[in-house]
Structure 1
Amino acid sequence: MTAPLQEMLPLEDLKELPAVSPWCQRWRERKHSWRHVRDGGFDARNYSVDVIPDEEPAKTFVLTHHYSRSYPAVKVQLGLYQVVDGERRLCGVAVFGVPVSTAVLTKPLPELKPYTESLVCSRFVLLDECPGNSESWFLARCFEHLLARNVRGVVSFADPVPRRTASGALIMPGHVGTIYAATNAVYASRTTARTVKLLPDGTVFHERAAQKIRRQEQGHEYAEAQLIALGAPVPRAGCNPAVWLREALMAVGARNVRHRGAHRFVWRLGRNRREREQIKLGLPARRPYPKQADPEPNGI
């Protein structure tokens, strides 16, 4: 059996941010800003929430404003619209969809059918013009839409690890999780610690994309093109895909970053408290909500 190839990428360990704070994150053209919850100013009469039937408007909005520069597999996408002089303007998008593995849904929600009765909230983006407290109202309306479609559970994650470019510029200071605590989500502990690969622009090169290249699975061309666009050599005919991937990651200046695991949150949806509590949790509910970052490891 052939031993796996070792990737000699530089390793970083970045300081995490607190998982809960009174500041709400906003985005515009992949640059973050903040709104304090005490600022208020939200008036529901000026906003509406609707399903976005076509993928393109939601995808364009997310790719334009979200730091990840990617759009996940979607089941339901909903838009927050500001109503001005009778005209609606898209100012927020929530994406509920399909994770890479069914275990993302079945582990915390074992009795719900994944992809139909349970979904993952994979993108939740509001523009910087949205006033404080917009998130909780938008999310509540999203849950009403999902419940009408017989979705009974939603899983989401708060990532406290910042993202920086190779030059050190901060592009994502960390998902602080304020909206999850404010909407009484169940905190279901952290995901497994792992190492993630960051590209020079600070975006993550996901392990699933790497796996597609190594195994030459469907979609490997897109993943290869992502690295080639950053300066990796074009694969030669007959070359070992795993060897090419290792060399390509080194050529573009990718970095390994230690990640201690994202915070996992779960919502059980129902018309009343009894219906919500009838939905079984596969993971124990933790209290209190996480409020402090992990201490820096010795020697880092």
Structure 2
Amino acid sequence: MKGGVQQMLPVELLPEVAASSPWCLRWQQRRHSWRHVRDGGFDARRYAVDVMAEAEPAKSFVLAHHYASSYPPVSVQFGLYDTVDGARRLCGVATFGVPATTAVLTNPLPELTPYTESLVCSRFVLLDECPGNAESWFLARCFDQLLTRGVRGIVTFADPVPRRTASGKLVMPGHVGTIYAATNALYAGRATARTLKLLPDGTVFDDRAAQKIRRQEQGHRYAEARLLALGAPPRPSGHPPSIWLREALAAIGARNMRHRGNHRFVWPLGRNQRERDQVALGLPPQWPYPKVPDLDPALR
């Protein structure tokens, strides 16, 4: 990492949560809850799935309820609506879009054109009121509509590492992979291991946000505002952005967190199994699905 940011921050090692489980994760105002798959109770007649033509209200919904409190670049977003009593109330959002690099898509799906024939599922969040089997139905409806747009492959990731605030409050218990196993996603191993910058509120300050600040690219004001809201001092006029970033992260007590890499899953899309089998894979499927948490490196 350039600029010496990594060396200035303390390192935190956290245990991981199993990436496959019978429990479904739900969110409400960034607070998690659980639904067990055996509970069922999902009635498809009550729900509808539609493309959300504008970023709003999808963005506001994700920012309000998803633990990451961020909205990545999106090509298409879908809303899950509760239509009981003739009303339409948004209760879930799924976003598909552009990853940080094309390799995220071309490594597992080498013969598909990235950003058009292949996308990354970057956010998938349902409110805690949604029944236990709502995810698979919602995701299947999204895939049907993506297929009509020419999308033939989806990549997504499960993050098994918990997130805590600086005071120790658990804000993200670890992303379980139940929905991926239940919808027959192919497990394609772990993504690249990396070091994350964890902010005091438990959210991750990603490398792209840091780059925007250093280079003063579009979006840098939003990234800077996140740090200012956590107590970072304003950047003095003429002060180099890269130096201010290093000082701001240290001032608010940001931590480095070692991460072995997210679990990666791939869905080849097609109208039938023959069409799905025609989608070439660049990474061999692995079996079984990951179920055992990583050993905490601090305990080795």
TM-score (norm: length of structure 2):
0.96
Question: Which residue of structure 2 lines up, in the alignment, with residue 125 of structure 1?
Answer: 125
Matched-pair contact (CA < 8 Å) for 1:5–1:242: no
> Which consecutive residues of structure 1, in runs of 5 or more, have no partner in the other structure?
none
Stretch of structure 1 that moved more, 75-84 or 158-167 = 75-84
For residues 145 and 4 of structure 1, the distance between their equivalents in structure 2, rounded to whole angstroms, comes to 44
For residues 24 and 208 of structure 1, the distance between their equivalents in structure 2, rounded to whole angstroms, comes to 30
Residues 75-134 of structure 1: per-residue CA shift (max 9 Å, x gap) = 111111111112221111101111111111111111111111111100101111111111
Matched, 1:107 2:88: no
Matched, 1:251 2:251: yes
Question: Which residue of structure 2 lines up, in the alignment, with residue 165 of structure 1?
Answer: 165
Question: Which residue of structure 2 lines up, in the alignment, with residue 28 of structure 1?
Answer: 28
1:241 offset after TM fit, Å? 2.3
For residues 252 and 59 of structure 1, the distance between their equivalents in structure 2, rounded to whole angstroms, comes to 26
Matched-pair contact (CA < 8 Å) for 1:5–1:243: no
Question: Which residue of structure 2 lines up, in the alignment, with residue 9 of structure 1?
Answer: 9
Residues 148-178 of structure 1: per-residue CA shift (max 9 Å, x gap) = 1111010000000011111000011011010
Specify the SS of the correspondent of 2:81: strand
Question: Which residue of structure 1 lines up, in the alignment, with residue 265 of structure 2?
Answer: 265
> Which consecutive residues of structure 2, in runs of 5 or more, have no partner in the other structure?
none
Question: Which residue of structure 1 lines up, in the alignment, with residue 194 of structure 2?
Answer: 194
Specify the SS of the correspondent of 1:15: coil
Stretch of structure 1 that moved more, 126-135 or 219-228 = 219-228
Question: Which residue of structure 2 lines up, in the alignment, with residue 44 of structure 1?
Answer: 44
For residues 161 and 32 of structure 1, the distance between their equivalents in structure 2, rounded to whole angstroms, comes to 14
The 5-angstrom pairing of residues 1-300 of structure 1 reads 4-5=3-4, 7-299=7-299
1:217 offset after TM fit, Å? 2.7
Distance 1:55 1:217, change over 3 A: closer
Specify the SS of the correspondent of 2:181: helix
Distance 1:124 1:298, change over 3 A: closer
1:182 offset after TM fit, Å? 0.5
For residues 80 and 219 of structure 2, the distance between their equivalents in structure 1, rounded to whole angstroms, comes to 31
For residues 207 and 4 of structure 1, the distance between their equivalents in structure 2, rounded to whole angstroms, comes to 12
Identity score, percent: 73
Letter in 1 for 2:265: F
For residues 114 and 49 of structure 1, the distance between their equivalents in structure 2, rounded to whole angstroms, comes to 25
1:236 offset after TM fit, Å? 2.1
Distance 1:86 1:4, change over 3 A: closer
1:188 offset after TM fit, Å? 0.5
1:183 offset after TM fit, Å? 0.4
Residues 23-78 of structure 1: per-residue CA shift (max 9 Å, x gap) = 00011111000000000101111111111112111111111111111111111111
Residues 276-299 of structure 1: per-residue CA shift (max 9 Å, x gap) = 111101111101100011112255
Letter in 1 for 2:187: Y
Letter in 2 for 1:22: P
Letter in 2 for 1:254: A
Specify the SS of the correspondent of 1:21: coil
Matched-pair contact (CA < 8 Å) for 2:152–2:269: yes
Letter in 2 for 1:230: L
Matched-pair contact (CA < 8 Å) for 1:160–1:176: yes
Letter in 1 for 2:18: P
